[in-house]
Every structure is written in structure tokens, then in C-alpha cells.
Chains A and B, each alone.
Chain A
Amino acid sequence: MRRYIAKRVAHALFIMWLVATSVFFGLRAIPGGPVRAMLGQEGTPEARRRIREQLGLDEPWYVQYGDWMTDLLVFDFGSSITSSESVSAIISQAAPRTFSIGIVAVVVGLSIAIPAGVVSATRKREPVDYVATVAAFLGLSMPAFFVGILLALVFGVWFDLLPIVGYTPLKEGIRPWFEHILLPGIAVGLPYGAVVMRMMRSSLLEVMDEPYMKTALAKGVRSRVRLYKHALQNAMIPVVTVAGIQLALVLVGSVTVELVFGIQGLGRTLVDSMIDRNYPVTQAVILLVAAVLVFTNLAVDIAYTAIDPRIRYGGDSS
């Protein structure tokens, strides 16, 4: 197991390195040079000089690269072009908002998806199953931002139950934080949950057909024990995979949903930075997003060791 984990960690780090390197070269590969790209025609010599300095554009490329990587390791992302804030400051303001949405989304999505999938599978072809399956289909066909708009419409405009604009940081109170985050979280969580639910259902159905389930039946194990003790853990393996992969969906969803609810999270930051050509910020967001994805997938890989004894205890022995 240790080898497995070590391999996965090494892989994750490697991918991160690749991402960082691509971003580095990507920026410098823009036709016309990064300075031109960022300032366009109107840049003052002053601004130009500042950027050149910041990016170290006068140095040989390998020096630039080294500086870049070392800066990254200490989380120094440079400063914004438009304001003089450090990029890290900007990001640390925006990131918690997006992550709050993400966490609520995952919790909401999974708490609906897994029970729904289990019920759907155990009551296959009954009305419950049909309803759940169609609902799941609908759920994954709607972009998160549309769900957000619908929720905002219903709960904000028509029924005025929840606020639909802005964000309240946790330290100002759990209740306001929660009220502001609930709708965006649900908006992102529903499509996510829909995908996971489908996998839960099909995985459980497959497991129930496995020979070892027949053995359990032949031993006289009762049906509920068969479901929860014998089948469920096996069925969860592909579900965990999907839940991990689709975290990308959560991230993307959060980014778009922020716009609907007027939350100044990473999404807003990213879009603004692109419109302003504030590339240091854009870079940082991209890196952060990639990092989150890579490391959550790593976490999923490690979660496998808890779920699948075959990974925990290596391969066949004699």
C-alpha cells in the first residue's frame, strides 16, 4: 500500500510541475510577447518596465524559469497589473468563497446521490426508480449556472426566502454565511449529484449480480445485511472514482454560479483578470484550480486504500 500511495503522490507532483511549466511557457508564447498582451498599445513606459521586472523578462529563460518555480514554492505569485495588490492577497480573498460553494455542493450532491442510487437500484423498475432516473438525467443536463438562476428565481425573487446576492464570510456568523452559500451550493451540487447517482445505481446493480452475492444468499444471509454488509462497499469503488473525477464539475460550476449570485470568488476573479489582461492573476487562478483538482484526485486515490482491500494489501500471494 505504501508503494501505491508513494506512486500516486509522485504522480500528482509531477502533474503539478507540468502544469506550472506549461503556464510559464504559455504566457511567454503569446504572440507579441506578454507585455504587449497585457498592456496593449496604451502602456506607459513605467508600466512596461514594471512588468518586465516582475516577469524578469530581461533575464535568460532558464533564470526566469528558476525564479518562477521558486516563487511558486513559496506561494509568491507576483502582483496584479491593475492594482498593486499582491496576487496572493487577491486569491486568498476570493478562494474561500469558491471553496465554500464547492464544499456545500459536494455535501448536498453526495447526500442525495448515494441514498437515491441505492434506493433506485434496490427498487429497480419500480416507480421510485423511474422517477429517480429521470430526475438524474434532468439534473445532469442542466448547467450549474442555470440551476442557480432557477433557484434564485424561485427562492429569491418569487418567494424571497434566501438572499441571492453576495457572500458573508464565516467569521461574521454561521447563519448568514450559510444562507448566502446554500443556493449556490445546491445549484452546483445537483448536477454533480446526478452524475454520481447514476453511477451508484449502475454499480450497485452490477454488484448484485456478482457470484459472491449468490454465495451470501446460499449461506442464508438476510437481504438487508446482504445489501449493506456484502454489496455496498464493493459498489462504492467506482462511485468514489466518479465522485472524484467530477469534482472538476464542482469547480467549474462554482466558478459560473458565482456570477449568478454576485459572489466575488475565484470565478469572478478569473473572468475579470482575463478581461483586464491581468495575467499574473489569471495564472495564479489556473494554477490553484489545477492544484485543487490534482490533489483532490490524489485524496480519492488514497481513499481507495480504505475501500478496496485489494489495494490495501497488494496483489496475490501464494
Chain B
Amino acid sequence: MSTDTGADTPGFGERRGEFGPGEMPSEYEVEEETEEYRGLAGRLVDGILGDKMALFGAVIVLLFVVTAVFAPYLAPHGQEETFSFMKEPMTSSTLDVDDDGQTEQVLHPLGTDSFGHDILSRMIFGARVSLLVALATLAVSLTIGTTIGVLAGYYGGVIDSLLMRYVDFQWAFPELILGVAIIALSGGLGVINVIIAIGIAYIDDFARIVRGEILSIREEEYITAARAIGMGDARIMFREMLPNAVAPIIVQATLMIPLAILAEAGLSFLGLGVKPTTPTWGLLLSDGRQFIDRAWWISVMPGLAIMVTVLSFNMFGDGLRDAFDISEGEVEER
């Protein structure tokens, strides 16, 4: 039946039809969907906007930051102003605030504590301290940890072993205990000590992540090229490699802030943290501990604040990690 015997079948490409390879009638032409290149920031925004939980987290984080920055303007009262003692949330103190012989009603949305401070105001100022401390500790652990990681990853060998031994060793201590130890050794309380203590405690996480990134980047061709043209080590490390390792660092940083907040809260709660007059959330919590049976809100309010803030940073960080497409194993979290 077939008229197509072996002999006259053209070999591949020998015969040309109307449309050669890659050509087709215009009505079938499909626009190639090329994915537009979105820079890092663009991808991030897309990723976060798409993920409801991450978006929620991002919004709260923003709120937190704004509150912290503009605390003096947002707080209804000063952090040391006193009113009636232990008022329940959503009740008012009736007293003469402005010395004019007349009494006013002052609303306390979150109640007052045992000294009569308005809790809402103290918490707003507390946000500020928490954020500052968290950022400061982040700065410490990020810079030192990243540097260690870069050096270890780049040079390898003895330096790597030494640095990683230190990191391993530090790993044996949970942050709080290490923090306690450092505070004990530095002989005092106060903000700086807390920052140093917590900052040092989190160095190992950054070091490990950065080292991992550097180890893989090190094998890339553009690094060999840079070396070949005689670029100095420091320059390669910080100008070429580091910018490409930025993504996990950012994710880790975002996940570290809540850890720092928690650590600081813990230390303050133990009475080992910030000096007693600055109202950090941890301190506020600790203040209220003895009054749980009479005035539960003194502790619970700052506790809720910690919880919401930490939660939102975690959600945001998780979303960031998904947006950057980093596997969970690479970034350490609480």
C-alpha cells in the first residue's frame, strides 16, 4: 500500500517545506513568555505580597518599627508619669493631672501598673528599647559572624578549622546562658553588656551560614577570574563574594531579631538585663509577676506584645526565605 519505499525518503533536513525549522504560520505564533528579570528587591516584594502570612508579618513588623521610632509622639503619656494604681484596662483614672484644681479622666487602654504608670505608654517606649537592643545585637553578631564566616570559607585550612572549632564551642552554650556568663564576667548590668552578651551569642549562626555560602561561591568561575587578574583577597571576599551571599544573611537577620528580642526579654525578666529604669518589655513582664493574682494585665500586655512582634518577624522571615528560595536547612532558627 505504501508508496514510500526506503529509497526516496529524504534524509533529515534534505527537503525544505514551506516552513523551515523554527518557522510557522503567523496565526500559531505564540509570544514567548520570558520572565522579566526582577531585581532582588522586586522578587522580594512579589514574594511577600503573594504570601498572606508573610504579608501579615511584614505589616506588623512595619508597625512595630514605626511605633519604636516615633514612640515619643505616639505614646499618650510619658513613661514615668503616674496615675492611679493598678487600673484595669479600658478604665480611667480620675485625678488632677494639670494642677488646675479640676480632676480629669485619663483613659488607660491597657491599664496601669503598681506605680500608676500607664502601661500603653510604657509599652510604646519599651518597643523602642527592644528594637534598639535587637538591632544593636544584630549588628554585633552579623558583622563579627559574617567576617568569621567569610574568612573561614575563603581561606579554608587551618584558619577554617580554628574558627569552626570556636563556633562549635560556642554552640554548646545556649544564648541565654552565654549571655549570663558574659554579663557575670563583665561585672555589671546595663544595656551595653546585654548587647555584647546576646550579640556574641549569635555569632555562630551567622558564621556558619556565611561560611557555607562562601564555600560554594568560592568554586564559581568569576572568582577564579578575579584571582587571575590579581584582585586582592580582601577585595574578592567583600566585593565579589559577599554580595552574592546576601540572601541567606538577610533571612537569618530577619529571623534573628525575634530571637534577640526574646533573649533580651529573658535576661530582663531574670533581672540580669537592662538597667531597671528603662522599660523594656521583659522588664515590664517581670514587674508584673508578683501581681498576677491582682492585676494580670501588667504582665500579660507586654507578653502579648512580645508574642505578636516575635510572631510577625518569624512569619516575615519565613516568607522572605520562601521568596529567596532558600531551603530550611540552611538557615538556623529558634
Contact = CB atoms under 8 A, between A and B. Distances in A.
Direct contact between A and B in the complex (CB less than 8 angstroms)?
yes
Interface stretch (A46-54, A133-141, A213-221, A304-312): A133-141
Contacts of A238: 329
12 contacts: A141-B258, A141-B314, A142-B310, A143-B269, A146-B285, A149-B292, A149-B303, A150-B300, A150-B303, A249-B334, A289-B174, A290-B172
A143 B306 contact: yes
| The 3 A-B residue pairs with the shortest CB-CB distance in the complex, in nearest-first order | A248-B174, A141-B311, A146-B303
A274 interface: yes
A153 B328 CA distance: 36
Given A146-B307, A260-B289, A286 B181 contact: yes
Contacts of B187: 30-32, 37
B168 interface: yes
Interface in A208-226: none
B293 interface: yes
Contacts of B169: 15, 18-19, 22
A156 B292 CA distance: 10
Interface stretch (A81-89, A91-99, A105-113, A250-258): A250-258
Q: How large is the interface on B (under 10, 10 to 19, 20 to 34, 35 or more residues)?
A: 35 or more
Interface in B280-334: 285-286, 289, 292-293, 296, 299-300, 303, 306-308, 310-311, 314-315, 328-329, 333-334
B135 interface: no
Contacts of A249: 174, 334
A282 interface: yes
Interface of A: 15, 18-19, 22-23, 26-27, 29-32, 37, 137-138, 140-143, 145-146, 149-150, 152-153, 156-157, 195, 202, 238, 246, 248-249, 251-252, 255-256, 259-260, 267, 270-271, 274-275, 279, 282, 286, 289-290, 293-294, 297
A252 B299 contact: no
Contacts of B185: 26-27, 29-30
Contact of B174 (A37, A157, A270, A293): A293
B168 A15 contact: yes
Contacts of A294: 172
A202 B180 contact: no
B10 to A, nearest CB: 42
A252 B179 CA distance: 11
B151 interface: no
Contacts, number: 123
A275 B271 contact: yes
Nearest to B185: A26
A241 B328 CA distance: 13
Contacts of B177: 251-252, 255, 286, 289-290
B314 A140 contact: yes
B266 A256 contact: yes
Contacts of A246: 334
B303 A271 contact: no
Nearest to B258: A141
B174 A141 contact: no
Contacts of B238: none
B289 A259 contact: yes
Given A15-B172, A260-B289, A195 B334 contact: yes
A270 B310 CA distance: 26
A36 B272 CA distance: 20
Nearest to B176: A252
A289 B175 CA distance: 12
A15 B307 CA distance: 34
Interface string B11-47: 0000000000000000000000000000000000000
Nearest to A294: B172
A290 B176 CA distance: 12
Nearest to A27: B185
A275 B187 CA distance: 10
A238 B329 CA distance: 9
A145 B285 contact: yes
Nearest to A145: B269
Contacts of A289: 173-174, 177
Nearest to B312: A141
Contacts of A252: 174-177, 266
